[in-house]
Structure 1
Amino acid sequence: MDCHGVASVIEIPEGSKKIVLVGNPNVGKSVFFNAFTGMYVDVSNFPGTTVDISHGKYKDDVVIDTPGVYGVSSFNDEERVARDVILYGDIIVNVVDAVHLERDLFLTQQIIDMGKPVVVALNMMDDVKRNGLKIDVKKLSKQLGVEVISTTATKGEGIQEVKEAIHRAKKGNRLQVVEDNILKVLGDVDEESEAVLLLEEDEHMLERHKLVLKYPLRESIYMERRRRVDEIVNQVVAESNQGASFKTKLGRWMIQPLTGIPILLFTLYLMYQAIGVFVAQTVVEITEEIIMGTYYNDFIVGIFTRFVEEGNFVGDLLIGEFGLFTMAPIYLLGLLLPLVVGFYLCLSVLEDSGYLPRIATLVDRLLTYLGLNGRAVIPMILGFGCVTMATITTRLLGSKRERFIATMLLGLAIPCSAQLGVIAGLIAPLGFKYLLIYLVTIFTVFVLTGTALNKVMPGKSTDLLIDLPPLRLPQFNNVLRKTYIKTLMFMKEAGPLFAVGAVTITIMQYTGILEGVTAFFAPITQGFLKLPPQVAQAFIMGIIRRDFGAAGLDSLASAGILSGAQVVVSLVAITLFVPCIAAIMVIFKERSWQESAAIWIGSFILSFLTAGVLAQLIL
């Protein structure tokens, strides 16, 4: 699409200027467009796309509204349309969200680099005070080299000033890297704006002018543009509590270590009280022991004993100790379902309130010591829901090095929601002492492993770039919908695996394989870990699924086979134990087989080594 292509969809009278409205999504461009054009609006479909653009008249000129974009590029239809209109616009009115300058000014600087006359409408200024901010508009105008006008478009404030400034629009201060290189390519294209996109390796521009890339400067220009925007924001924006809303102040407190850490600890305490105490003890006592363990168990056993004999293989397979219709549904529905619902309910509240990215910002410095950045807290928190799902989300991390470290820590020291629920249910009755021992042990292994990997692996962690949404009260319907969807996904995944686990364990028990494995691991479980031999069965079950193994420990603790200290040792081992089959499959899919094998073997060794050392100390 060239300038004639723009003219083919928009009638531009001779002598008229093309005034182009440009901005990020949801910055209020439509209000400005309506103020300029009134009722004289037309909509046309842009050739080769499904994108409609609005255009109308303002005095003798034509005003064109572009789709909301974050940059001028060729990544999708909206950006291609915006690029094609901006390239051949005469004057650019750039609408900027005053509260999010660090985001919006990237596009502003790119348009300035393109050599276009620009007027910046600094919109939503009414939100600036509510967010406890002060903006030096004159200094911002000087830094950019173009006129900047404060506006609150929804109230009509500043719009007339923008109209009057249009024909005073001027070119701004380009980046030095653009200034130094633009003459090298200007002879190959028609306009300065095209030359800048050529330097930024825009494929459309190379193809249109049948050129071969000579100056690969995209990364250099983008990095310099990001640095320049951050520098400008630091100079012109100041925080102030005067006039700031309580939500704004609270949002700031959440990311400052002095106040943020106590807030985080208090949040985790509330989650523990909700999941570890109320759900794991009160609710589960009703669902597991009464509804499923008594009423359901008696009902299902009564039905099957009419057709099968207890004690033979079929009887054990269906209604035995690890039966397909006894243990599997009792643990899945009575024990795990309420715990998983409780966890996802809490996680959905954190997500919907906007607190989750603030946790990422708060722990960024800590995670840097582990070779990660604050963004890694997202897969870590998701790992408390499902390690399999969290492993997939490590893709959002910036380097292969970070993805390996995060995957190793997920597989090693992050218990999934179902396992976490069983752990909470087992430890809560033991008192604070054993809870503290467990938490300190797991956290120590987590930190030492991450620190060691950070030291031995080449490279360093990438910087954290994350958008902090405004704090808001979670929407009840939205929280329930997220909880329902995630719980349903968990049940669909866990149900078949529990059935497979029940069948596998029953076969191993009936054929004597389970006793053989128990005897084989006896030197470790009984000697080094100082645990009863039956615990080996729980470890085997844990390979199939972590929470399946934790559920096995629950049955041993309920039968009085494990003491309080032995429960803690066995839980440390099962937490640090190798990831379940589903997680291992995803790890092998996401990482190379060498990395996956290292994670699997490393988890196996560290789990028994840590549990063994703990056993020597407390047993």
Structure 2
Amino acid sequence: MNSHNPAAIMNVPKNSKKIALAGNPNVGKSVFFNYLTGLYVDVSNFPGTTIDISTGKLGEDIVMDTPGVYGVSSFNDEEKVARDIILYADVVLNVVDAVHLDRDLFLTQQIIDMGKPVVVALNMMDDVKRNGIKIDIDLLSKELGVEVIPTTAIKGEGLDKVKDALKRAKVGNRIKEVKDIIDKVIDKVDTESEALLLAEEDENIISRHNIKEYENYREYIYKLRRNRVDEIVEKVISETNENASFRIKLGRLMLRPITGIPILLLTLYLMYQAIGVFIAQTVVGVTEEIIMGGYYYNFIMNSIGKFINSSTLIGQLLIGDFGLITMVPIYILGLLLPLVVGFYFFLSLMEDSGYLPRIAALVDRLLTSLGLNGRAIIPMILGFGCVTMATITTRLLGSKREKFIATMLLGLAIPCSAQLGIIMGLIAPLGIKAFLIYSLTIFTVFVLTGTLLNKFMPGESTDLLIDLPPLRLPKLSNVLKKTYTKSVMFLKEATPLFALGGVIVTLMQFTGILNGIANALAPFTEGFLKLPPMVAQAFIMGIVRRDFGAAGLNALASQGLLNSGQIIVSLVAITLFVPCIAAIMVVFKERSPLESALIWFGSFIISFLTAGILAQFIV
């Protein structure tokens, strides 16, 4: 085996016992490593990768840390490194998160099936008590066939017992059917551990041994292992709800639809009041209208404006309606920055409290029908603050298919907070009937579009794989640090795009292209949508900034040029209309040119088609 395994060329004394630490991400392995090795630590680059590996001495033995992984495999560099070190090890110390046994024991059983002597450190036992969980440790040890030591590593509890148990490490209870498969393929490789990985179709093992013919048992073995782990967890875990803390009970309520949905609606309402009302209206009213739109704009016009003729192309590019030193900084710093900071602050609060993963789990089944999974709720929530920012966060979704669907739905049916404020101001005086017509129309378009994309787009969406951490009070310093880091990152990415958008719109305005488009749309607006021709100007301004378009409609309504039916139709059209220029620039950056064009033209067509059909009934 040594000739095939890169770990074999690591600097390890010949007669030393090699102890590997293995576990899922964030289970506390580093605490065990530091305790076992003390100050005698060496960090080196693992051969053939960019992964750094820590090694240290425990007496005459060598302790090797491994990257956190969910299984021994070859799907990424971390798994490859962990695999090679575990294959090379004489003893494996498997650190397990006691709260998530159903997840972590999958790796434990795989290592046991490899035939490696194992000791299990059952870590985070303090969280077990807080979660109202009881674990029968003796029964767990009997089921696994290895010693299981309860620990709370950050408090130093149980670490000495783990150290002593390493001397008694033994091979555990392997799944009989898996052992039979290993016996079938053992002649093709050097060890039982490699035989298991060969049966699981590990590409590196196949390549190392130049194996031409083999039978793939991966899905069969995975199913056996999953069933075995579920069986063990069912036997050893019991819940004691009466001992569970309020936070644990609240966390469970958040996951049940009958209680979780009202909690989510209340959370979204509070977020809207804080961000959509207080920040978008009160704070932005000061930062955009007074500070940037007043003091800053007057300073620019009274200094630079004296030396530049605003009627020229250069003047328009610099200090015009969409100028690089007027509109761009006013928009970025006056409007977007407060909204971005507010949203990232609340997002960080939900993330650090442990609520955000619960929202994702709660809405996962609903979003699956739209070709998404629960993670997509994050950009959807962000979209009500700023679609531009939300489009960037679609990166966290698992596939190109999901990213396209989410970006399409964001650009189509999610109004940003600035636009939403004006829309609510326009529709509120019309009564509850008008609000329901508007809301149901937008919601129907959202669901139908997602459902159709899910049905006709090739491929399948990814499953939701997400940990549910314990609910906790967020640490303010961490929340502020995250908010600052993400806000700065957003400004760095978005500012050049806004500047480019300002240049494009200025050129279109200066050359008369904007007016030409508005005039071309006017007959369609007046005929199919049954709206006054000047509404076309508002639609075009909506491309520049969504709230510009809504504000244009507000001006027409205040002049009495729109009746109630026309207001609803125009608001539906402006909501579903193409994203603003800043969002468009981000879409073209995040998606391919073809996908971006489909999103843009799709929004354009769906907007006018929906509004036109609605107009036939209510205008």
Check whether TM > 0.5: yes
> How many Å separate the matches in 1 of 2:399 and 2:176?
28
AA of the residue aligned to 2:110: Q
- Kindly tell me: are residues 194 and 298 of structure 1, through their superposed partners in 2, closer, same or farther at Cα, counting changes over 3 Å? closer
> How many Å separate the matches in 1 of 2:291 and 2:469?
42
| CA deviations over 1:413-470 (Å, ceiling 9, x no partner) | 123xxx4323224424753746555433322211122233344556665432111233
AA of the residue aligned to 1:500: V
Q: Say yes or no: does 1:504 pair with 2:501.
A: no
Bigger Cα displacement from structure 2, 97-106 vs 582-591: 582-591
Aligned residue in 2 for 1:267: 267
| CA deviations over 1:510-548 (Å, ceiling 9, x no partner) | x4x444433321233233334333332232344456456
Map 1:289-304 → 2, pairs under 5 A = 289-296=289-296, 300-301=300-301
> How many Å separate the matches in 2 of 1:184 and 1:148?
31
Superposed displacement of residue 270, structure 1: 1.0
Aligned residue in 2 for 1:276: 276
AA of the residue aligned to 1:183: D
Matched-pair contact (CA < 8 Å) for 2:383–2:414: yes
Q: CA RMSD in A?
A: 4.0
Bigger Cα displacement from structure 2, 132-141 vs 580-589: 580-589
Q: Say yes or no: does 1:478 pair with 2:492.
A: no
Q: Which of 413, 417, 420 in structure 2 is aligned with 1:420?
A: 417
| CA deviations over 1:295-322 (Å, ceiling 9, x no partner) | 5555555567756778787877776666
Aligned residue in 1 for 2:72: 72
Matched-pair contact (CA < 8 Å) for 2:375–2:464: yes
What SS does the corresponding residue of 2:242 show, helix, strand or coil? Answer: coil
Map 1:196-595 → 2, pairs under 5 A = 196-212=196-212, 214-218=214-218, 220-222=220-222, 224-226=224-226, 228-230=228-230, 232-296=232-296, 300-301=300-301, 331-384=331-384, 387=387, 390-391=390-391, 394=394, 397-398=397-398, 401-415=401-415, 419-428=416-425, 430-431=427-428, 433=432, 437-456=437-456, 461-474=461-474, 475-476=476-477, 477-482=480-485, 484-489=487-492, 492-493=495-496, 495-500=498-503, 502-508=505-511, 511=512, 513-543=513-543, 546=546, 549-550=549-550, 553=553, 566=566, 568-580=568-580
Matched-pair contact (CA < 8 Å) for 2:412–2:575: yes
> How many Å separate the matches in 2 of 1:41 and 1:167?
24
- Kindly tell me: are residues 40 and 352 of structure 1, through their superposed partners in 2, closer, same or farther at Cα, counting changes over 3 Å? closer
Structure 2 residue runs of 5 or longer lacking an equivalent are none
Matched-pair contact (CA < 8 Å) for 1:497–1:545: no
> How many Å separate the matches in 1 of 2:200 and 2:450?
37
| CA deviations over 1:131-152 (Å, ceiling 9, x no partner) | 2222233443454343434333
- Kindly tell me: are residues 617 and 149 of structure 1, through their superposed partners in 2, closer, same or farther at Cα, counting changes over 3 Å? same
| CA deviations over 1:169-213 (Å, ceiling 9, x no partner) | 23322373x334323321122210121122333344334333336
Bigger Cα displacement from structure 2, 514-523 vs 539-548: 539-548
> How many Å separate the matches in 1 of 2:318 and 2:399?
48
Superposed displacement of residue 113, structure 1: 1.7
Aligned residue in 2 for 1:160: 161
Map 1:80-119 → 2, pairs under 5 A = 80-119=80-119
What SS does the corresponding residue of 2:95 show, helix, strand or coil? Answer: strand
Superposed displacement of residue 278, structure 1: 1.6
Please report the TM-score for the alignment, with normalisation by the length of structure 1. 0.82
Aligned residue in 2 for 1:51: 53
Matched-pair contact (CA < 8 Å) for 2:26–2:68: no
Superposed displacement of residue 242, structure 1: 2.9
AA of the residue aligned to 1:533: P
Matched-pair contact (CA < 8 Å) for 2:545–2:581: yes
| CA deviations over 1:309-345 (Å, ceiling 9, x no partner) | 7878787777666666666655555444434443333
AA of the residue aligned to 1:539: F
Q: Which of 5, 10, 13 in structure 1 is aligned with 2:12?
A: 10
Matched-pair contact (CA < 8 Å) for 1:328–1:502: no
Aligned positions, number:
606
- Kindly tell me: are residues 494 and 275 of structure 1, through their superposed partners in 2, closer, same or farther at Cα, counting changes over 3 Å? farther
AA of the residue aligned to 2:92: I
Superposed displacement of residue 129, structure 1: 0.9
Aligned residue in 2 for 1:137: 137
Superposed displacement of residue 399, structure 1: 5.3
Please report the TM-score for the alignment, with normalisation by the length of structure 2. 0.82
Matched-pair contact (CA < 8 Å) for 1:344–1:486: no
> How many Å separate the matches in 2 of 1:147 and 1:472?
32
| CA deviations over 1:72-99 (Å, ceiling 9, x no partner) | 3456666555434422434433221201
Superposed displacement of residue 501, structure 1: 5.0
Aligned residue in 1 for 2:611: 611
> How many Å separate the matches in 1 of 2:317 and 2:589?
33
What SS does the corresponding residue of 2:185 show, helix, strand or coil? Answer: helix
Matched-pair contact (CA < 8 Å) for 1:277–1:424: yes
> How many Å separate the matches in 2 of 1:397 and 1:255?
21
> How many Å separate the matches in 1 of 2:586 and 2:107?
38
Bigger Cα displacement from structure 2, 262-271 vs 496-505: 496-505
> How many Å separate the matches in 2 of 1:300 and 1:586?
28
Instruction: Give the fraction of aligned pairs with identical amino acids, expressed as a percent.
Output: 62
Matched-pair contact (CA < 8 Å) for 1:93–1:121: yes
Bigger Cα displacement from structure 2, 272-281 vs 528-537: 528-537
> How many Å separate the matches in 2 of 1:324 and 1:592?
27
Matched-pair contact (CA < 8 Å) for 1:526–1:533: yes
Superposed displacement of residue 562, structure 1: 5.8
Superposed displacement of residue 355, structure 1: 2.1
AA of the residue aligned to 1:101: L
- Kindly tell me: are residues 46 and 53 of structure 1, through their superposed partners in 2, closer, same or farther at Cα, counting changes over 3 Å? farther
> How many Å separate the matches in 2 of 1:187 and 1:540?
72
Superposed displacement of residue 264, structure 1: 0.9
What SS does the corresponding residue of 2:243 show, helix, strand or coil? Answer: coil
Structure 1 residue runs of 5 or longer lacking an equivalent are none
AA of the residue aligned to 1:273: Q
AA of the residue aligned to 2:63: I
What SS does the corresponding residue of 1:242 show, helix, strand or coil? Answer: helix
Superposed displacement of residue 363, structure 1: 0.4
- Kindly tell me: are residues 150 and 281 of structure 1, through their superposed partners in 2, closer, same or farther at Cα, counting changes over 3 Å? closer
- Kindly tell me: are residues 448 and 158 of structure 1, through their superposed partners in 2, closer, same or farther at Cα, counting changes over 3 Å? same
Map 1:20-59 → 2, pairs under 5 A = 20-29=20-29, 32=32, 43=42, 45=44, 48=47, 50-57=52-59
What SS does the corresponding residue of 2:278 show, helix, strand or coil? Answer: helix
Matched-pair contact (CA < 8 Å) for 2:121–2:149: yes
Matched-pair contact (CA < 8 Å) for 1:33–1:63: no
AA of the residue aligned to 1:262: P
